[in-house]
Structure 1
Amino acid sequence: MAREACNEEFQNLAKAYEQDVTESLKKYEVLKDLDLFVLDNSIRESTVGQLRGHTIENKWKVYDEVKKCGFKHTIVASFNHSTRVDDVFIKQLADRGEDRAGLWAFSEITEAIKKKVPDTESIPVGLRKMKEAGLYNVIFEIDLGDSTYDFDRFTTKEMCALLKKWVDWVFENLSTEAKVFVSFRDLPDAMPTDSERVFEVTDFLCKLPLFGLMFEEPRGQSLPEECGTWAKHIRKVMDANNFNGHLLVHVHEKFGYCDVVALQVLMDGANGIWASVIKEGAAMGNAPSIVTILNLIRMGNKRVLKKFNCTYLRKAAINMTRITTGVDPHIKQPVYGARALDFVFDLNPEEFDFADFFEVQAPIRITTLSSAEMVQTKLVNYFGENEDFTIERANLMKEVMLEDLRANRKEEYMSKCGLAVLFDRSGGKLTDEIRDEIANDPMKTPHGQNLLKEIRERWDEWDLKDKVQGDNLLDYDSFYNGFMAPYFACYRCNDTKKALQALDMDIDNSVDWSEFCVFLKWAMKQYPKTIHTADDLLEVAFRKGLIPCMRDEMLVKK
């Protein structure tokens, strides 16, 4: 009876859990059918706060990547009194005949603020420069908190009148085809104490011929539910006015919430985002559109697949990051970082497989958690078919990985040289194919290139003593005298001869530069922080790479 009562208790708990989780996940259903509007901000956002800003060439490259993604609306400029790169870029856009219907620029609503009261007469510089450039889609940025304006001296009604004045000016002076967004720039400051002011201004704006409203979380400090509630109640005001314009959100990073905030706001009332494709941006960056869009696809959204070139997004994000920062995205960046596609535990694709979606081959990550099949597949992918690339050999390689950790030896086995040396240390034989594959894999760091060049110069000096010069080979005695002597006491000793034979992959009584390079590149890859000179590189290559491999080879031959 006690057992039956216990089972009944767990069955009831399971039913309650199923009901609870079903109810909790219902809110995500809206993302499945959302017709997402994207106002791309890659040209502007990705350069904010960068140590190296965007050149005109950079802007063109980013702009072209945005177009390849299929985004039809792009923020291209934010003007001020200085002549910025944006000013020149806009002129070039016009000269190239780009369609201005999808090009947007920011503008303030006042030329100056004195004693927390705005100048309501002078035309803001952003509008003046847009007219000169022939742009006509405007994003007016406004502040509704008390930190910018004194609303006792400049009332909410006066704010509304000023907004109407400049909206009318846009249609009269820029284009009757103009589209206008109004962006609430400081909702985190305004909503806690002055939400009624926000709703009053929203109500007024819904009566104007706007394309939509926008807001941002500029500091990344507000919680998802908080931002979602802003969207929910702003949307209520919009619906009460039968206003069918867009409601967009832009979120900055600070405490790891940005992507969640963007999704929460979309679930609670917004229908679009203004964001860069990539995370790079002001402070710690913004919620990138690529992550938001991929989450919608993961939820089953088909609309974004039809509207945008979603399979290109990852490539675009990688390219934009390189353009902006000069380096690849952080390897752990969701969706477009190097590890985002990895197989980690086995070779079975996930339910939503990034690699399959982006039509790229998923990298296989080699760690102690990798299966033997993963190690075997990685060997074949790198070096082609080899009768020694067996499951048994792969298991031996996994054992060596564990031995390394127990010996406090922390190394990686993902790179070609890392995997090759692991294979060698596990009793495998480095073949000509493996050697040549690694020889053709360039050293990536300038420091490593310089050290490799210095060691090559030493090699060439000893090559002059050989009977045949310039053949990339050193006789055993030249290699011993030039490189091995500090580590092997006697050239004529039996162990030294066996060690040389172990290094001689093609058994031609000489050491090939490419054979030696396998271990030099491996050492530089594994221990970059401890290698400062060419002698350091040789020390690590011999002590941690060549000598252990030679010992393994000698044990096998015994």
Structure 2
Amino acid sequence: MSSTQALDHARAILATADAKLDKLRAIEPYLIDLSLRENPVGSNVGQTLRDKLGILPKLREFGFQNISLGTLDYAIPDELEVDDDFMMYLRDNHVDLTGCFAFTAMGIAATDGSFTPDPSQLKLKAYGVPNTVHEIYLSKQGMQGVYDFETLRRSLPVSIRWLHDNLRGDHGGPPRILINIVDGCDAFSSNLEQTCEILALLAQLPIEGMTFEDDRGTFLPFQVGAYVAVARSLLPPPFKILVHIHGGGGFENASVIEALLSGADGIWGGLPKRAAIIGHASIGELLANLSRIGNPHVQRYQMGELLPLATAFQWLDEKGPVPDDLPVLGHNAYRMTFSGFQQRRDRFMDLPPEAIGGRYGYRVCALISDPPVIAGRLAEVTGLPTDDFPDDVLQQMIRLMRRDLRTGRRIDYDKPDVLLELYARAKVFCGHHRPHTHATHHAIADASTEAK
């Protein structure tokens, strides 16, 4: 292969990647926010009625048009949850519920033609919630002990008809119904024939679309993409297809991107990362990643508030901080350890923190941190401008960190008191060639006292 042919081949390969980026940029993501349910499910403490009443208007202000108020198909339905109290409060106080959903389970149609709605359906009607995500199971294991396939196939159209007959949707219209296959990835992988039969049935029913889950986060991205492609082949537009991916294996956001490329319209999930297991492909992360590639549709949301809002919600749910090393939303996600890692607005695929309401910080690491990072961290600790720290002293700090490690000393230089001690040592080595002003000296002394 000649060099010209090799270059043409390389361009052809990259053109496929560019085509995928163009597809992602064009998607107007269909999102159902679950910050009122998904996030507290994985929380140690949960949300109170007061918490939920404070969260709902913030979700509206951020720009969400589709919001799940909670789940009604939970175990022990006679023992109410805060979700019930919340929906009853909204109903009794005549709060506008346009675009609001609640999760429900399918009712059962008997062979004699009688139909028994699920308790969650009765609650949905009583609470006046206009739309629903209606849940079914389709894997052999998921259906076991709940219903058999014949019962599912017989009951699903009747259950959907009951919803249409008993709910007033947005602005008095028909309810918007999405069918969620809770064990969706399991169903596609182990019960494909019956799963496809149900999808073909859904194509004939008055619903907005379907969703499916990887509820343990164990399926690889290309598998999720394949399942979406199968669903799309049976449910062409305008049917919506959404996914919900948990973070068990660590590839949840990649799975969402693969799903979108394979024909999905969007996702449902919470704004923060917290979810039922160890996290999920959150709406916050998806919005950030679509913004990263230049998707214009995400600008309908208050992107400048994304980071502080998602962080505040997780603080509320956990009664504690967001994990430092969480991608995109964690404290360390935008604390530079080396200036070469800085993301910039003018560079392809970068998403600077200011784009989602954050700002850069600095974290000193012994092996890699360079003068801009060390000066930035000193500025954070002392409140002084970075120009107040001489370059020769910063360079000497790097040398001292290396020497300390070579002599077997493992020191956390990011701690304020330790960093200031290192700075003082470096100044001595430099012979005070560029002494601080009187004000700078006092600022460092005050910072050192406060750190101790």
- 2:229 is the counterpart of 1:247: no
Of 82, 85, 93, which residue of structure 2 is paired with 1:85? 82
Question: Structure 1 residues 219, 25: CA separation in 2 closer, same or farther (over 3 Å shift)?
Answer: farther
Q: Residue 413 of structure 1: SS of its match in structure 2?
A: coil
Q: How many residue pairs were aligned? A: 426
Q: Confirm or deny that 1:238 pairs with 2:222.
A: no
The alpha-carbon distance between structure 1 residues 387 and 224, as it changes in their structure 2 partners (threshold 3 A), is: closer
Residue 226 of structure 1 is matched in structure 2 by 223
Q: What's the offset of the Cα at 1:47? A: 1.7
Identify which range, 93-102 or 71-80, moves more after superposition.
Answer: 93-102
CA drift of 1:212 comes to 1.6
Name the CA shift for 1:274/1:120 in 2 (closer, same or farther; >3 Å).
farther
CA displacement at 1:12 relative to structure 2: 4.9
Higher relative contact order, structure no. (Cα contacts within 8 Å, ≥ 6 residues apart): 2
Is 1:426 the counterpart of 2:426? The answer is: yes
What does the per-residue CA deviation read over 1:83-119, in whole Å, with 9 as the maximum and x for residues that have no partner? 1111111122234443212211111113799xxx9x9
Task: Indicate conservation of the 8 Å contact 1:111/1:125, yes or no.
Answer: no
Alignment-derived partner of residue 392 in structure 1: 392
> Cα distance 1:400–1:93, how it changes in 2: closer, same or farther (>3 A)?
farther
| CA drift at 1:19 | 2.7
Partner of 1:190: 187
Other-structure match for 1:103: 100
Does the CA-based 8 Å contact 1:373-1:391 persist in structure 2?
Answer: no
- Aligned to 1:215, the other structure's residue is in SS state strand
Corresponding residue SS for 1:369:
coil
CA distance in structure 2 between the partners assigned to 1:53 and 1:385 by the alignment: 42
Rounded to whole Å, the distance in 1 between the matches of 2:332 and 2:125 is 46
Mapped pair 1:372 → 2:371? yes
Counterpart code for 2:243: V
Instruction: Map 1:78-157 to 2 at 5 A.
Output: 78-79=71-72, 80-110=77-107, 121-149=115-143, 154-156=148-150
Contact 1:40 1:73 (C-alpha < 8 Å) held by counterparts:
yes
Q: In 2, Cα distance between the equivalents of 1:361 and 1:202?
A: 45
- Give the CA deviation at 1:180: 1.0
Q: Output the amino acid matched with 1:170.
A: L
2:281 corresponds to: 287
Q: Distance in 2 between matches of 1:23 and 1:149?
A: 40
Cα distance in 2 between the residues matched to 1:377 and 1:53: 37
Residues 1:28 and 2:16 aligned together: no
What are the superposed Cα offsets for residues 197-244 of structure 1, whole Å, 9 maximum, x if unpaired?
A: 2222222222222122111111111111111111112111122xxx51
CA contact (8 A) 1:249 1:273 kept: yes
Q: Which runs of 4+ in 1 moved over 4 A?
A: 8-15, 153-156, 385-388
Deviation of 1:266 after TM superposition, in Å, equals 0.8
Residue 418 and residue 58 in structure 1: after superposition, are their counterparts in 2 closer, same or farther (change >3 A)?
A: farther
* Counterpart AA for 2:333: A
Q: Following the alignment from structure 2 to structure 1, what is the Cα–Cα distance between the partners of residues 307 and 201?
A: 40
Deviation at 1:27, TM superposition (A): 2.7
Q: Output the CA distance in 1 between the equivalents of 2:447 and 2:109.
A: 64
Which deviates the most, 138-147 or 60-69? Answer: 60-69
- Matched to 2:373, the amino acid is M
1:217 and 2:214 matched: yes
Deviation at 1:120, TM superposition (A): 6.4
Note if 1:315 corresponds to 2:308. yes
CA distance in 2, matches of 1:341, 1:427: 29
Shift in alpha-carbon separation, 1:93–1:436, aligned structure 2, 3 A: farther
- Among candidates 331, 337, 343, match of residue 344 of structure 1: 337
Deviation at 1:60, TM superposition (A): 3.1
Q: Indicate if the aligned counterparts of 2:291 and 2:351 stay in contact, CA closer than 8 A.
A: no
Closer, same or farther: CA 192–377 of 1 in aligned 2, 3 Å: closer
Instruction: Indicate if the aligned counterparts of 2:38 and 2:269 stay in contact, CA closer than 8 A.
Output: yes
What's the offset of the Cα at 1:387? 8.3
CA distance in structure 2 between the partners assigned to 1:331 and 1:192 by the alignment: 36
- Determine which of 421, 445, 452 is the counterpart of 1:435: 445
Structure 1's 237 and 327: CA in aligned 2 closer, same or farther, altered over 3 A?
A: same
What are structure 1's unaligned runs of at least 5 residues? 1-7, 439-514, 522-558
Question: Whole-Å Cα distance in 2 between the matches of residues 150 and 329 of structure 1?
Answer: 38
Counterpart CA distance in 2 for 1:162 and 1:363 is 56
What displacement does 1:193 show? 3.7
**Mapped contact 1:66–1:316 kept (Cα < 8 A):** no
Aligned mates of 1:155, 1:71 — CA distance in 2: 36
Flag the 1:142–1:359 CA change in 2: closer, same or farther, 3 A. closer
For 2:405, the equivalent position in structure 1 comes to 405
Alpha-carbon distance change, 404 to 97 in structure 1, aligned in 2, over 3 angstroms: farther
Match of 1:275 among 260, 269, 274: 269
Contact 1:144 1:187 (8 Å CA) reproduced: yes
> What is the aligned partner in structure 1 of residue 163 from structure 2?
170
Name the TM-score, length of structure 1 as normaliser. 0.70
Indicate the residue corresponding to 2:31 in structure 1: 38
| TM-score normalised over the length of structure 2 | 0.86
The unaligned stretches of length 5 or more in structure 2 are 429-435
RMSD: 2.9
Counterparts of residues 248-263 of structure 1 (less than 5 Å):
248-263=242-257
Distance in 2 (CA, whole Å) between partners of 1:396 and 1:311 is: 38
Between 26-35 and 259-268, report the one with greater CA deviation: 26-35
> 1:483-530: CA deviations, max 9, x gaps?
xxxxxxxxxxxxxxxxxxxxxxxxxxxxxxxx4x54xx2xxxxxxxxx
Match of residue 475 from structure 1: none
